[in-house]
C-alpha cells in the first residue's frame, strides 16, 4: 500500500517503516496487526470496530482481477473509490484520478493476485437483532459480505412489541421485540450504524402475531385489513418487501387468500415476496405452486427461500422441482436462494425428528450442556426416544441433516439461484453457514469442484441478488454505485467453520469496504487503520437513495 497525492508524490511502506511513520506498514506488520485485531474481536460486542467518520477517503485498488458482478469474465484493471462511491473502473481510472482536486490524498492498495468484486449480499439472514446489539458483524464481514437481508421466513423484528417472543419469533431473541414500527427499527439502525448494510423484509408471521389473538386459525377480514395497513406503513418506511414462513405453526393456518392480500400490498410498492414454502417435503410441488400463484396474482417477484427437498423420501426431487420453477419463470419473475450445506437449522421440532437423519443440537434452554451433541446420542444416554429428547430440550434449536448432496448441487448451480446463509446468530453452537457460506461457494464449489465459474459464483452473490431484491446502486462494479467492495485471494479462499467447530474465520478475504469505508482487513491484507462501521438501511430502486 502507498499513500500519494494526485501528483504522484508519496512514500512506500518500506520508507515509512524506515522513518518511523504511521499509517503504512510492511506486509508482515500488517498481518500481525490484522491477526491481533481479529482475535480481539471474536466473541466481543463492538470491539475494534468504530463508526465511520464523515471524512471522504480516496482509495485506488491496483492490479487486481475485476469481476464486476454481472457474470461477465473478469479482467485485469484498477478501481477508484472516493467517499462512498465508485468513481471509475478499469481503463477510465487514469483520467478520473487526474481529475481529482489538487492535493487529494489517494491511498493505493496493491491487489495483484487478488479478485476485486462487489461486496457480497447475503439475501437470507436472521440478523435483525445482531445488527443492533453486535453491530461489528464479524461473521459476515469476514466472509466478504457487505449487505444482509433480514426478516426472512416470515420472522421480522418489526413491527411488533412483546415482552417474550414465542417460537419461531424467538429465533431473533425472545426479548428483542421492542420496535412497534419499521420506522422505529430504521431509526435505531441509523443510530447504531452497523458494520453492514441492512435490507428489511416484513414477516407475515410477525404481522399475524400483531393482529391476531390466536394463530391456530385463519385470519378474519378485519385482521387481514389490519395486517395490510401495518405492512403498507412498513413498506412506506423503507422495507424491501414481505416474507412468509407457512411451514411454521403460527402461520400454517393462513390461507392462500390471506397471503395474497398482503402480496398485493407489496406489489403496489414494487417490493419483493420471499417464501419459506409451506412444505419442503412430500407436498413440495403443491407448495411451489401455492407460492408461485400468490406472487403472480399479487403482481410481485417471488424468491423461494433456501430451496431444498428435505428428508430421505424426497431426495432427488429437485429433478422435478427445478423444471417446475423454470416453467413458472416463463410467466413471472422468480428466483431462489440456497446455502451450500446438506443440513438445515431451525428450532427443535418433533415432526422433523424421524430417527433416520442426524439431528445436532445447537441450543437448549433447559439443557444448555447438550449443544453440539447428536440427538441420537442423548437418547441413548437418557434411555428414551429421540422425539422425547426433542420435547425435553425445548425451547431449543438444531441442525437437521436432511438434504442430499446431489440436490444441493443442482440447486446451487441453477442460474436462478442466489446465495443466502440462513445463519442463526443467536445459537450457542450455530450452523457453520453463519461463518462460512460465501467462501465455501467460492472455494469448494467454484474453484475446487469446478461446478461453475468464479464469475458465475460472484454473480449469484452480488448482481443477481441486487436485481432480485431491487436494491438501488449496489451489486456491480459500476461508476456511481456505492463502494461496497470485497477483495479476496481466489487461490486460498476457504471456509473453516465446521459443525464441530462452527465459529471460525474463513481464509482468503483480504479487505472489505462498506460504502467506501474499510470495514474488515483479513490476514495478509493491507494496514489501513482501524476498521470502521459504515452500514445503512438499503433502499429499493424506486425509493429514495440510501
At 286-311, the pLDDT tens digits run 999 999 999 999 999 999 999 999 99
Predicted model pTM: 0.90
Alpha-carbon span 34 to 358, nearest angstrom: 38
pLDDT recorded at residue 525: 82
Q: Which three cell numbers stand for residue 276?
A: 419459506
Between 139 and 31, residue with greater pLDDT: 139
DSSP letter for 52, please.
Answer: P
pLDDT recorded at residue 20: 27
Alpha-carbon span 508 to 495, nearest angstrom: 9
pLDDT recorded at residue 125: 98
pLDDT recorded at residue 51: 67
Q: Give the residue extent of every domain in the chain.
A: 119-342+403-474
DSSP 71-127: SPPPEEEEEEEETTEEEEEGGGHHHHHHTSPTT-EEEEEE-TT-EEEEPEEE-S---
Strands 58-66 and 75-82: antiparallel
* CATH architecture under which domain 119-342+403-474 falls: Alpha-Beta Barrel (3.20)
Q: Where does the pLDDT of residue 466 fall: very low under 50, low under 70, confident under 90, or very high at 90 and above?
A: very high
CA distances from 546 to 156, 243, 341, 466 (A): 21, 22, 33, 14
Residue 30 has pLDDT above 70, yes or no: no
pLDDT recorded at residue 5: 39
The answer for residues whose C-beta is within 8 angstroms of residue 321's C-beta and 6 or more apart is 284, 285, 288, 307, 309
DSSP letter for 368, please.
Answer: G
The answer for residues whose C-beta is within 8 angstroms of residue 273's C-beta and 6 or more apart is 241, 242, 243, 244, 263, 266, 294, 295, 298, 300, 301, 302, 303
Q: Render pLDDT for 415-464 as a digit per residue (tens, 0 to 9).
A: 999 999 999 999 999 999 999 999 999 999 999 999 999 999 999 999 99
Amino acid at each position: 500500500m502507498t499513500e500519494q497525492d494526485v501528483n504522484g508524490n508519496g512514500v512506500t511502506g518500506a520508507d515509512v517503516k524506515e522513518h518511523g511513520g504511521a499509517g503504512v506498514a510492511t506486509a508482515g506488520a500488517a498481518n500481525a496487526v490484522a491477526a491481533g485485531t481479529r482475535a480481539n474481536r471474536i466473541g466481543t460486542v463492538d470491539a475494534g470496530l468504530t463508526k465511520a467518520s464523515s471524512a471522504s477517503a480516496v482509495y485506488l485498488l491496483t492490479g487486481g482481477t475485476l469481476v464486476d458482478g454481472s457474470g461477465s469474465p473478469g479482467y485485469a484493471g484498477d478501481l477508484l473509490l472516493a467517499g462512498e462511491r465508485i468513481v471509475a473502473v478499469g481503463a477510465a481510472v487514469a483520467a478520473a484520478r487526474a481529475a481529482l482536486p489538487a492535493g487529494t490524498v489517494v491511498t493505493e492498495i496493491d491487489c495483484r493476485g487478488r479478485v476485486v468484486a462487489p461486496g457480497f449480499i447475503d439475501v437470507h439472514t436472521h440478523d435483525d437483532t445482531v445488527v443492533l446489539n453486535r453491530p461489528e458483524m464479524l461473521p459476515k464481514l469476514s466472509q466478504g459480505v457487505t449487505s444482509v437481508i433480514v426478516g426472512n421466513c416470515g420472522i421480522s423484528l418489526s413491527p411488533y412489541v412483546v415482552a417474550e417472543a414465542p417460537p419461531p419469533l424467538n429465533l431473533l431473541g425472545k426479548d428483542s421485540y421492542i420496535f412497534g414500527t419499521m420506522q422505529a427499527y430504521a431509526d435505531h439502525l441509523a443510530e447504531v450504524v452497523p458494520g453492514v448494510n441492512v435490507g428489511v423484509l416484513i414477516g407475515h408471521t410477525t404481522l399475524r402475531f400483531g393482529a391476531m389473538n390466536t394463530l391456530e386459525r385463519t385470519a378474519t377480514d378485519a385482521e387481514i385489513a389490519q395486517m395490510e395497513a401495518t405492512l403498507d406503513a412498513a413498506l412506506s418506511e423503507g422495507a424491501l418487501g414481505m416474507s412468509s414462513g407457512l411451514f411454521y405453526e403460527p402461520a400454517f393456518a393462513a390461507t392462500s387468500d390471506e397471503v395474497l392480500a398482503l402480496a398485493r400490498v407489496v406489489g403496489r410498492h414494487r417490493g419483493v415476496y420471499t417464501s419459506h414454502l409451506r412444505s419442503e417435503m412430500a407436498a413440495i410441488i403443491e407448495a411451489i405452486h401455492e407460492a408461485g400463484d400468490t406472487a403472480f396474482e399479487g403482481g410481485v417477484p417471488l424468491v423461494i427461500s433456501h430451496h431444498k427437498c428435505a428428508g430421505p423420501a424426497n431426495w432427488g426431487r429437485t429433478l422435478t422441482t427445478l423444471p417446475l420453477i423454470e416453467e413458472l419463470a416463463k410467466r413471472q419473475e422468480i428466483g431462489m436462494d440456497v446455502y451450500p450445506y446438506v443440513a438445515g437449522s431451525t428450532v427443535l421440532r418433533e415432526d422433523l425428528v424421524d430417527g433416520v437423519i442426524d439431528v445436532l443440537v445447537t441450543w437448549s434452554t433447559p439443557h444448555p450442556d447438550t449443544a453440539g451433541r447428536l440427538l441420537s446420542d442423548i437418547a441413548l444416554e437418557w434411555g428414551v426416544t429421540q422425539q422425547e429428547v426433542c420435547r425435553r430440550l425445548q425451547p431449543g434449536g438444531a441442525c437437521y441433516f436432511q438434504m442430499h448432496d446431489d440436490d444441493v448441487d443442482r440447486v446451487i448451480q441453477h442460474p436462478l439461484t442466489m446465495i443466502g446463509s440462513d445463519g442463526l446468530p443467536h445459537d450457542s453452537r450455530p450452523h457453520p453457514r453463519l461463518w462460512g457460506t460465501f467462501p465455501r461457494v467460492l472455494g469448494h464449489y467454484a474453484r475446487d469442484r469446478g461446478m461453475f465459474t468464479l464469475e458465475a459464483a460472484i454473480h449469484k452473490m452480488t448482481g443477481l441478488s441486487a436485481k432480485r431484491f431491487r436494491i438501488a446502486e449496489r451489486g456491480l462494479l459500476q461508476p456511481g454505485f456505492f463502494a461496497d467492495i470485497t477483495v479476496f485471494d481466489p487461490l486460498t479462499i476457504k471456509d473453516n467453520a465446521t459443525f464441530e467447530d462452527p465459529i471460525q474465520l474463513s481464509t482468503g478475504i483480504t479487505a472489505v469496504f462498506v460504502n467506501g469505508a474499510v470495514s474488515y482487513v483479513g490476514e495478509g491484507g493491507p494496514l489501513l487503520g482501524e476498521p470502521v462501521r459504515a452500514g445503512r438501511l438499503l433502499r429499493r430502486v424506486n425509493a429514495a437513495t440510501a
